[in-house]
Each structure stands twice: as C-alpha cells, then as structure tokens.
Structure 1
C-alpha cells in the first residue's frame, strides 16, 4: 500500500475570525475543500482544522514552526489567497516556492496579487484558479482536483521555468551560504509532527 499524497491547505485565518472563532460560512466552505482532498485520498495539513477553527489557536512561536513543518512535509500546496491577499498565505507560498512544492493558487476575481506572488511560477510549478464566485462548490472541485494531480505529478511535470543548477557548477555542489531547513525538537512544542490528518479525525 502506498502512502497518501500530502496536501498543505493554506487560506486566510485572521480575516475570517469573529472573536476567536472562524465564522461559520467560511468554516463550511474551507471544511468542504478539506473533505474533498481527504476523499481524494490525501493527508491534509490545515491550520484552521488543526487549531479547532480558532478555539485552540496556537501562539505565533508555535504556529509558525507547525505550518513550516506542514509545508516541508507536503507534496503540494492548495492555497486560497484571500481578498485582500493574506500575508500569512503569502509567507506559506514563499516557503513552498523555495522548497519547489507545486502550488494551486486560487484567486478571487478582482484580488490584487503582488508581483512576488505573480512571479511564483518562475521558481516552481503554479496553477492558478480564478474564482468568479468565491470558494463555491465548482471552485472547490477544481482546486481539489488540481492539488491531488500536482501532488502526484510533482513540481517538474510540464515545467521548464527553473534550471536545475547554474552552468559550471558540478552536480552535488550546493550554493554558497545555503543551509538546510531544520527545526530543533527542543523548540518544537508540537513534537515535529507536521499535523497531516487522514480521513479519521
């Protein structure tokens, strides 16, 4: 039996809070997207779900390492940018791009992406889904299908935008100054588990 593909589900958090809880309409929509990914056989990391939709919110020094571990562990990122575009989602997309994770980026009609987000496709595989009617059932299906496909295919299928290494550098030689991403267990309050959940919660 093969391991399930792993999808990091990124979406705005703070802009959908009322008090300390995610508002019900947003919870239902994002929950449907998560359920569709699970039904497609993926393990899913979603901070909203993992943090009890706001009820069990983590402080910044815990949620940032937790989310980073989720991005590192995933096979693809499925992201709703938000309108206005969420700074947190932008950070997660930056992590994903440097790790060359394939990205499904859902963008509301009229939302303004920064040039940095517009240029993500120059460093990793990005498929953009334009949302005419927000995160409706059709958009959920399109996003989930694309994320499951990209998680299986990986970052390089159909992509020629990123060179493997600059000419003249031998294979196996790392760029000067590059460091491995490591999170020390002693500073990791959630034990190194990337928080991927399967069909049983």
Structure 2
C-alpha cells in the first residue's frame, strides 16, 4: 500500500443526479460512489465525499457551507479522485481546478466513449493527473488497486 495517501477527496456530479421530487440520488450513481468509498476505506484510507456528507441529496448544505468545506477538505487531502461528468459537472470541475491549483495528485475516472471538456483532457499538461478510462466499475477498481500499491 502506498503510504503517502491517507486522505482521499472523492468528487463527482451531484445535484443533477438528485430527483427534485423525491430528493433521492440516482441509485446506480450512489452505489458507484459507495463502492469506491468502501474500496478506499478497506485500505485504511479516510474518504471525504460530499454526496455521503449531504445524505445523498436529502440534506444539501448551503452554497457557502459546501464551498468552504469542500475547499478545506481538498486542501488537506493526499489524493483527489473524481468522475468529471459527461455532460460536465460544474461543481466537480471547480473542485478539479482547486485540486490542480493546490498541486494535489489527481485521478480522473473517465468513462469510455464519453465526451469530456478539453480542459479535462489536457489537464495533465499543467497538473499531476492520472487518467483512468473505463467501461465498467471493475476496470477502474483494478487500475486504482495498481495505483495505490
């Protein structure tokens, strides 16, 4: 296990995945994040994730609270991991920008055959980015396993 990583910030699309009528997040997307949180925690890593923190959309923080909290958590993380979203998730892209500016190691999980913003595709030119392209969950889990060992 790579001892340099103790604290992970896990980001991804959020608000658009929450049904405005039910207040519930899409179950497939929720399970994908839960599986990743479990993957990291089983390896002794601490994971900060806004989706879980805000009860999967049932308890959204105010814009001021979540902005400050996420910035502080990204500032103190050892590794930033994100699904950038396709279509692009505005909040996730801001967090990716913060992680880049704060010189954090970044892993971007990119689904094959999806279109991503040019600044996501070219980020490795200015930041410490590892791109993990995947078709299925097992694809990125095995690549994360390699990265962490």
TM-score, structure 2 as length reference = 0.87
1:91 and 2:94 aligned: yes
Cα deviation, residue 56, structure 1: 1.4
1:52 and 2:77 aligned: no
What corresponds to 2:7 in structure 1? 6
What corresponds to 2:122 in structure 1? 119
* Contact 1:37-1:144 within 8 A present in 2 as well: no
1:67 and 2:70 aligned: yes
Partner of 1:130, secondary structure, is: strand
Cα deviation, residue 52, structure 1: 0.8
Cα deviation, residue 114, structure 1: 2.0
Query: Using the alignment, how far apart are the partners of 1:80 and 1:57 within structure 2?
Result: 20
Cα deviation, residue 140, structure 1: 3.0
Structure showing the higher helix proportion among its residues: 2
Query: Using the alignment, how far apart are the partners of 1:140 and 1:4 within structure 2?
Result: 16
Query: Using the alignment, how far apart are the partners of 1:59 and 1:140 within structure 2?
Result: 32
Structure 2 residue corresponding to 1:21, chosen from 5, 8, 24: 24
Q: Which runs of 5+ in 1 are unaligned?
A: 150-201
Are the structure 2 counterparts of residues 144 and 53 from structure 1 closer, same or farther at C-alpha, using a change threshold of 3 Å? farther
**Alignment RMSD:** 1.9
Query: Which consecutive segments of 4 or more residues in structure 1 shift more than 4 A?
Result: none
Are the structure 2 counterparts of residues 137 and 3 from structure 1 closer, same or farther at C-alpha, using a change threshold of 3 Å? closer
Count matched residues.
Answer: 145
Query: Using the alignment, how far apart are the partners of 1:117 and 1:49 within structure 2?
Result: 25
Cα shift readout 1:28-87 (whole Å, capped 9, x = no counterpart): 111001110111111111000111111111121111111111110101111111221211
Query: Using the alignment, how far apart are the partners of 2:56 and 2:99 within structure 1?
Result: 23
Q: Which runs of 5+ in 2 are unaligned?
A: none
1:101 and 2:108 aligned: no
TM-score, structure 1 as length reference = 0.66
